[in-house]
Structure 1
Amino acid sequence: MNKLLDIFIKPFQGDNFVWIEIIIITAISATSWIYFYSLPAGVEANHFFWPLLGPLLIALRYGFAKGFICTLGMTAVLVSIMKDGGMLPLFPFSLIVGTFFVVMIAGEFRDHWQRSIDKYGIEHKHMQQELTSFTKNYHLLKVSHDQLELRNAGQPASLRAEINSLQRIALQYSERRLAHIGEPLLALFAHVGGIHVAGIYKVTNNEVEAQPHAVLGDSHTLNINDCMLQDMLVNKKLLSPVTFHAQHESCYQLCIPLVDTAGVLQAVVLAESVKFFLLTPANVVLLSLIADNAADLLSDELLTPVLATHQDDLFMRYVQRAHYNSREYALDSSLIIFHDHTGKNPDELDALTNHRRGSDVYWTYQPPNKKLCLMVLLPLTTATDSQLFITRMQQILFNALGEHCNDIDIIGPFSFEDSKHDIDSIIKIWGPNNDRMLVPSRANS
């Protein structure tokens, strides 16, 4: 119905029709004036000046200018008719002046009203534009904030802090570690990967346990025969619909394996609901990195933070993991060696292990033809942070040894961002068994 009215009214809204309307109203007003002027003096219709309504209507509808033109046209028509009829001396000058005053007042009122409407319309439009701009800026700010959070979550310092917090929890328990770190681990995955519904399951001998150790969200279920899950158990790689190309559909949107440094599948995270716009390549890398480090926390062997001399193979696994993180994820790590060249300070060297950070790996050994050494691997640590670590250790040694603090040499830090052969050469020189130390671990290769 409104569309039909619009179609009917639209042709009458143009400027051309306005002038046609003015001409018609002017003609009607002039004709009515002649008609009412010709009526006898006692007729009741003469008591009101009806021709005033035409110019008044135009003034109220289109403003003073067009109302004045209508009145002027009506006056001209009236003068012309009265001149032809020889009645010009009877011209009602006072009525014409009164009509002009009424039209002027009505027209000015209409113009003022229109200016107010236009002003409020402009202000309303400006407010709409400001609101639209504010809404856009709000969404841009929200997206930027989310991206900044994800970017900060991917920074080495932030990742190290998160992994350290998980390690502190794992070190408190000798059994059922997954049950205790499961919920904070799922919360970290949800923060980085936008996971809504997921469960984490223990894996023993490549068999997934039926009961989850932690669940995120509602309506999570285990489908042991799911094609994506089975493929993940075989390949031990993180799978999502983007990377999974099987013919059959999967009920999971994300399958994350927790593979430790020794290559053992410790647990799996199965997610049914994920924010796909957060599954960027960078975030998938972060999920894999977090899963790999969390898997080490579930192994009694790999959770040991301070290694003995005979655990050189285990230390090399950590070194290979650091190489892998640097190569695949562009996350730097550092290697530092403390050497007691006098052989008189084994207790002070051993005391340095009491000041270790959460994810750092300490290895005490004695290389051939050298005194006792302490090799420290700082995962996810930049060269700048490594230098700060050295400064702190120098202060600790000075407090313990005083002027003899130089009895312990500090070699490093060596960055994993440099060539792999530089790290290997350092380990070859300072390792307890040169040939054995250069055998790379198979983990993460």
Structure 2
Amino acid sequence: MSGRDPFSELQRPKAYWAVLETVLITAALPIFGLWLRPDDPFFLHAEFPWLVLAPLLPALRYGFVYGFGSALGLVLLIALGWRLHWFPMPYFPGGFVLGLLVVSMVAGEFADLWARREAREHTVANYERQRLDEFTRAYHMLRVSHDRLEQRLAASSQSLRLSLVQVRRMLFAVPADQDMLEGAAEAIMGLFADFGWVQVAELYAVRGGAPDAEPLARLGQSGALHADDPLVNEALRSGELVSVRSEDLGSLPRGTSSVLVAVPFVDVSGEIWALLTIHEMPFVAFQKQNLMLLAVLGGYIADQLVAAKGRAGIDDPAGGDFVRDAERALIQRRRFGLPSMVQAAVVDNPAQADNLVGILSGQVRGLDRLWIQRSSATAPVLFMLMPLTNEAQCVSYRTRIGRQLREVYGVDVDALGVTFQGREIDPRDSIEGLIDYLCEVGGVDRAGIAYRPRPGV
């Protein structure tokens, strides 16, 4: 998948432009010296070695290779000038040449080190931005769910949250070799009809940036979708909900669309999975709050499609999220060296197991991912993934947990039967190996977890 991610790639100059600029800067200094000091164009006898600026600038701007290449080119020019007696040079300036090379290498290495550090910071910012989008959507879903419960309590026996959970389970129940969106299309349409006041609509799968010719699901009777519909094209272009309301239309032509609202299903990385075109809905529902609900529903379902597609054979939704985030943490560890921790918390206290699991679950941090394993034969085990966390930070987390449990129960963690064991993710790890490790330290039967690793992770 490819999404619109502002942090996905650092803005770096093109290679040919960097080479051209390096060559021009390298040649400019000797040419200027030839015009200013014909007998000493390399400034070998000047009060300051101005020639060092030629490799220094490309090294700081583009890195080690360009700076060292510039210095090496100047060294070759100096050697030719001395060998062929182009200029009065009684001896080869070995010390000057060595200093020129050292300056270019030090500056280039500094630039490369700074670029790697910048890439790490961009990766951290991107990770936190995506998780913030997920939390924002979850907050809106919770808020809207409570509002809808108050409005529909007398007429409906099912909450918006429960409906979303059912759609999520349906997505995860679709076999991996089938189209997950197609298998849950009717349930998705029912969700929009029940909670979005949608009366006539169509759901299209989006492939290659364009909707399919035939809808996956249809609600009511509507005409065919035109390929040049301005609302549909604008929704696909912007990745945002577009309606015929004046503030949404902007500069789009009016009166040329048969669609009232176009809702793209966009995940947190910017990928558009599907498009809902609404043709009829009550006038009272055509308000900002309800349209926001439609947009949030589309984004939430797109996120669940991502989770379902990347579930890697795990039937438990929480396990699918855990493994998906663990794969991301492992890839970032390999590419950028970002630390992440995995640990298992065993609650060996039958009398207080539920209370202790509740306390531990409530202390999970914003970026962490929790996966609870319960079995009648073993004590409850909490698998924890802690992205962007090293060993020292994990120890601080355990200390905080122990302090809280001591305030509640008056005894230490060990006396309560809660044990923690974990380690930092290593670049040589695999997802299969991490799951095996957690099962081993947590005392969980590995055969009871249906997991098939994806190739290359």
Asked if Structure 1 and Structure 2 have the same fold, meaning a TM-score greater than 0.5 normalized by the shorter chain, the answer is no
* TM interval, short-chain normalised: 0.3 to 0.5
Q: So what's the TM-score if we normalise by structure 1? A: 0.40
Q: So what's the TM-score if we normalise by structure 2? A: 0.39
Which of the two has greater helix per residue? 1
